[in-house]
């Protein structure tokens, strides 16, 4: 793999399927938005924020997530949402990423003056503007920039997370809080289908947030709704819990892809006492995932930052995923929170994994093949073929690979 250089990786067409809008702002933009919106930051200098909030390494997932209080805090107007989306697409395109799926939880950005549709349309305006601008100046030898939008439901929430959640909890009164969580996810699912049917590029539905203690099955009704309406599904699973969480995402939420899937191969992470033969359970689960081509959206840097036992990528199960024939796509998760890019993530894989040139190629192209592309199947096939042809042309030129 020594032939693969950063220059080559920058030139090849890439995807980012697991990309959170609120974790991927430009740091100068965050500071500017905070100042104009009177949001207090621990520092108004980039160096200060990187030292205090957006670190290279975090003690745990909680510390990693703390930065979202500031990024979500500034994304409370349609203007800021549109700008953040535009800049994210612009930054992605600049490093050779040609397809992104931007995910966010609209309910985190609803104020007393906005609703879900307005939030989503603002993000779409920013992405569409960047797409049109990039493609207008596209070289004929390059492929077009495209995007899709994934709406995220939250496994749990509290009053402080947004005015919307505050209103929802107030209306619920003494109702079981779990029921309130499920009502919120079902409401978002219905809005996702409605906006998709109105022509917005809503390509998927996701479940994010605290995994342990808040199982995906509680949101089954929401996933049944999007499933019945032909919307694709991805679920954050196996990130902070065991293989049974991944199993539940697939069987109860019909997941087409899994976000992270980090503890897929961990017998120690299995909690269900009903699972007697843990080795067999993992073997059958991983084989099922491989056979069904349920793609794992792996975010290496993010995992290294939040999981203490992963000191380097050699400790990460991505090697096992590749060795077991799973479909794996490399993503950033949060470009700001993790100080990363797709190029950086692929460079890490190139440096630390024992994979062949062909397997590296698979990691790159899996994002195109397993995307929730917002077009017909025929359109997607044509787009994937463009990516394959461009990759192979560049590989022949830079690496001597045919």
To the question of pTM greater than 0.85 for the whole model, the response is yes
Q: Are 164 and 119 in contact (CB under 8 A)?
A: no
Greatest C-alpha distance within the chain: 67
Which position has the token pair 């809008």? 21
Q: Is 401 exposed, middle or buried (0-12, 13-18, 19+ CB in 10 A)?
A: middle
Please give the pLDDT value at position 402. Answer: 65
Please give the pLDDT value at position 154. Answer: 96
Please give the pLDDT value at position 2. Answer: 45
> Which residue out of 82, 239, 297, 345 is catalytically annotated?
239
What is the Cα–Cα distance from 37 to 253, expressed in whole angstroms?
Answer: 38
Please give the pLDDT value at position 65. Answer: 86
Flag whether pLDDT at 235 surpasses 60.
yes
Flag whether pLDDT at 107 surpasses 90.
yes
What would the mean pLDDT of 236-260 be, rounded to a whole number? 94
Across all residues in the chain, what is the average pLDDT? 94
Q: Are 101 and 16 in contact (CB under 8 A)?
A: yes
What would the mean pLDDT of 26-51 be, rounded to a whole number? 96
CATH number belonging to domain 6-398: 3.20.20.140
> Exposed e or buried b for every residue in 348-365, given b needs 16+ CB within 10 A?
bbbebbebeeeebbbbbb
Percent of the chain with pLDDT over 90: 84
Please give the pLDDT value at position 36. Answer: 96
Q: Is 231 left (phi over 0), alpha (psi -120 to 50) or beta?
A: beta
Strands (E) across 117-252 are located at: 146-154, 202-208, 232-237
What would the mean pLDDT of 85-91 be, rounded to a whole number? 98
- Between the CA of residue 102 and those of 88, 197, 370, what are the distances in Å? 9, 18, 15
SS3 readout for 300-324 = HHHHHHHCCCCCCHHHCCHHHHHHC
**Among 96, 102, 65, which Cα is nearest to 82's?**
102
Q: Domains of the chain: which residue ranges?
A: 6-398
Neighbours of 262 (CB within 10 A): 27
Q: Considering Cα of 239, then 241, then 244, then 248, what sign does the dihedral take?
A: negative
Q: Specify whether 239 is catalytic.
A: yes
Span 345-385, pLDDT tens digits: 999 999 999 999 999 999 999 999 999 999 999 999 999 99
CA dihedral (178, 184, 188, 189) in degrees, to 10, reads 30
The confidence band for 296, taking pLDDT boundaries of 50, 70 and 90, is very high
Please give the pLDDT value at position 195. Answer: 98
Please give the pLDDT value at position 60. Answer: 76
Q: What 8-state DSSP symbol labels residue 336?
A: T
Please give the pLDDT value at position 190. Answer: 98
Q: Are 350 and 9 in contact (CB under 8 A)?
A: yes
- Between the CA of residue 298 and those of 91, 215, 258, 303, what are the distances in Å? 20, 20, 9, 8
**Among 330, 397, 390, 372, which Cα is nearest to 13's?**
390
Lowest mean pLDDT among 158-162, 184-188, 249-253, 386-390: 158-162
Flag whether pLDDT at 1 surpasses 60.
no
Span 112-156, pLDDT tens digits: 778 999 999 999 999 999 999 999 999 989 999 999 999 999 999
DSSP per position, 204-234: EEEEES--TTS-GGGGHHHHHHHHHTT-EEE
């Amino acid at each position: 793999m020594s032939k693969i250089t950063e220059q080559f990786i920058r030139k090849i067409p890439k995807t980012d399927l697991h990309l959170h809008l609120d974790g991927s702002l430009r740091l100068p933009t965050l500071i500017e938005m905070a100042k104009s919106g009177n949001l207090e930051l621990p520092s108004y200098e980039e160096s200060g924020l990187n030292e205090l909030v957006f670190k290279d390494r975090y003690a745990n997932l909680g510390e990693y997530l703390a930065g979202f209080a500031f990024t979500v805090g500034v994304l409370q107007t349609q203007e800021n949402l549109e700008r953040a989306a535009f800049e994210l697409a612009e930054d992605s395109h600049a490093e050779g990423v040609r397809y992104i799926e931007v995910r966010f939880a609209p309910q985190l950005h609803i104020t007393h003056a906005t609703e879900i549709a307005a939030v989503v349309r603002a993000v779409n305006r920013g992405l569409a503007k960047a797409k049109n601008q990039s493609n207008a100046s596209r070289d004929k030898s390059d492929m077009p920039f495209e995007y899709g939008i994934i709406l995220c439901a939250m496994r749990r929430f509290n009053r402080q997370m947004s005015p919307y959640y505050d209103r929802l909890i107030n209306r619920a009164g003494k109702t079981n809080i779990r029921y309130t969580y499920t009502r919120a996810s079902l409401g978002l699912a219905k809005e996702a289908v409605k906006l998709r049917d109105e022509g917005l590029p809503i390509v998927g539905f996701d479940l994010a947030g605290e995994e342990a203690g808040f199982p995906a099955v509680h949101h089954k009704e929401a996933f049944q709704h999007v499933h019945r309406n032909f919307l694709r599904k991805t679920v954050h699973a196996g990130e902070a819990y065991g293989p049974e969480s991944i199993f539940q995402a697939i069987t109860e939420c019909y997941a087409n892809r899994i976000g992270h899937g980090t503890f897929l191969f961990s017998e120690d992470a299995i909690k269900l006492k009903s699972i007697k033969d843990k080795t067999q359970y993992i073997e059958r689960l991983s084989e099922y995932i491989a056979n069904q081509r349920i793609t794992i959206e792996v975010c290496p840097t993010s995992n290294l930052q939040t999981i203490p036992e992963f000191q380097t990528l050699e400790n990460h199960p991505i090697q096992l995923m590749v060795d077991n024939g799973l479909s794996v796509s490399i993503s950033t998760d949060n470009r700001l929170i993790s100080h990363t890019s797709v190029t950086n993530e692929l460079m890490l894989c190139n440096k630390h994994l024992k994979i062949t040139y062909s397997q590296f190629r698979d990691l790159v192209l899996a994002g195109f093949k397993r995307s929730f592309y917002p077009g017909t199947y025929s359109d997607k096939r044509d787009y994937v073929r463009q990516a394959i042809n461009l990759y192979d042309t560049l590989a022949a030129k830079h690496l001597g690979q045919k």
